């Protein structure tokens, strides 16, 4: 099964980082969040990726075209016998990465529609390039296989960025939670799609609007409830939080 990763948005809410690079290339622990997503999936058996490029897509292309030299020691000899020696080859990432230009302002559904030829006739996973999770891929795919529908969306309950207080009848604060989970389930990405999902897509659509709405109306969309860790990186504060987890060796998505 291939993984399609949406990595073309402009990341306007993270302007401190995305003015000069696309959001999926914002780093956690010295590696792009895109790499962390791919690493989580590859650890569980997905090694074939289609990355939907848009805003500053050349930055992502450059990273993968020069992946080995960026991630390993090299010796560069200048002058008459110039050349480069790489001191180690990657023994971890046995990946196939297709970098697809899907348009600067194309919407999410349109980006998937434009990479149809790369997943022709296959079931595939699709997720966003700006959030990490300790997703159990086997449990997700087993759930999807069990219901026989066209699509599964991973449902998550994000944490509230505001603290929450429990107050009794006497107006006494009895409990204070810094980042409680919200009660409602939201779209956490990590979709599993059957090939017929392309019947619901066109080159200009927003995945989260008519395609998912129509799938739901026809009873073709099921939700896999993920109770574990999930965190998008929409703001500078969230990028700091994720880096702090990594630095403290407390990153739940690091399953490798």
**What pLDDT, in 10s, does the model give residues 162-207?**
566 677 787 666 676 666 666 789 999 999 999 999 999 999 999 9
For residue 228 the two structure tokens come to 């574990």
What is the C-alpha to C-alpha distance for residues 13 and 23, in angstroms, rounded to an integer?
Answer: 10
For the chain, domain boundaries: 2-247
Integer Rg of the chain from CA: 20
Would you give the DSSP letter of residue 223? E
Task: Supply the pLDDT for residue 85.
Answer: 82
Instruction: Note the pLDDT tens digit of each residue in 92-131.
Output: 678 999 999 999 999 999 999 999 999 989 999 999 999 9
What is the C-alpha to C-alpha distance for residues 79 and 6, in angstroms, rounded to an integer?
Answer: 43
**CA dist list (Å): 42 to 30, 47, 48, 114, 254:** 19, 5, 8, 24, 12
- 2-247: which CATH topology? Spore Coat Polysaccharide Biosynthesis Protein SpsA; Chain A (3.90.550)
Task: Supply the pLDDT for residue 10.
Answer: 82
What is the C-alpha to C-alpha distance for residues 28 and 188, in angstroms, rounded to an integer?
Answer: 19
For residue 63 the two structure tokens come to 């990273």
pTM of the entire predicted model: 0.88
What is the C-alpha to C-alpha distance for residues 233 and 41, in angstroms, rounded to an integer?
Answer: 18
| E-only strand ranges, 35-101 | 48-53, 74-77, 83-86, 96-101
> How many Å is the maximal CA-CA distance in the chain?
84
3-state secondary structure of 50: strand
Strands 131-133 and 27-28: unpaired
Q: What percent of the chain has pLDDT over 90?
A: 71
Contact 129, 33 (CB under 8 A): yes
3-state secondary structure of 112: helix
Contact 19, 7 (CB under 8 A): no
3-state secondary structure of 52: strand
How far does the chain reach from its first CA to its final CA, in angstroms? 20
């Amino acid at each position: 099964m291939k993984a399609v990763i949406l990595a073309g948005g402009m990341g306007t809410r993270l302007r401190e980082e995305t003015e000069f690079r696309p959001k999926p290339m914002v780093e956690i622990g010295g590696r792009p969040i895109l790499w962390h997503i791919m690493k989580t999936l590859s650890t569980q058996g997905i090694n074939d990726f289609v990355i939907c490029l848009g805003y500053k897509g050349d930055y992502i292309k450059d990273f993968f075209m020069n992946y080995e030299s960026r991630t390993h020691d090299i010796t560069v000899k200048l002058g008459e016998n110039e050349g480069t020696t790489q001191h180690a080859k990657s023994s971890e990432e046995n990946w196939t990465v297709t970098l697809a230009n899907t348009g600067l302002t194309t919407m999410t559904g349109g980006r998937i529609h434009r990479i149809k030829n790369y997943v022709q006739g296959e079931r595939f996973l699709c997720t966003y390039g700006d959030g990490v999770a300790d997703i159990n891929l086997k449990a997700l795919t087993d759930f999807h296989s069990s219901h026989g529908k066209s699509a599964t969306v991973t449902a998550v309950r994000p944490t509230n960025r505001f603290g929450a207080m429990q107050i009794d009848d006497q107006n006494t604060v009895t409990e204070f939670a810094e980042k409680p989970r919200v009660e409602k389930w939201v779209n956490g990405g990590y979709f599993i799609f059957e090939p017929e999902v392309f019947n619901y897509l066109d080159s200009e659509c927003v995945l989260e609007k008519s395609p998912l709405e129509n799938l739901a109306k026809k009873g073709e969309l099921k939700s896999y409830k993920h109770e574990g860790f999930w965190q998008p990186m929409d703001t500078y504060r969230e990028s700091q939080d994720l880096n702090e987890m990594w630095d403290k060796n407390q990153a739940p998505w690091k399953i490798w």
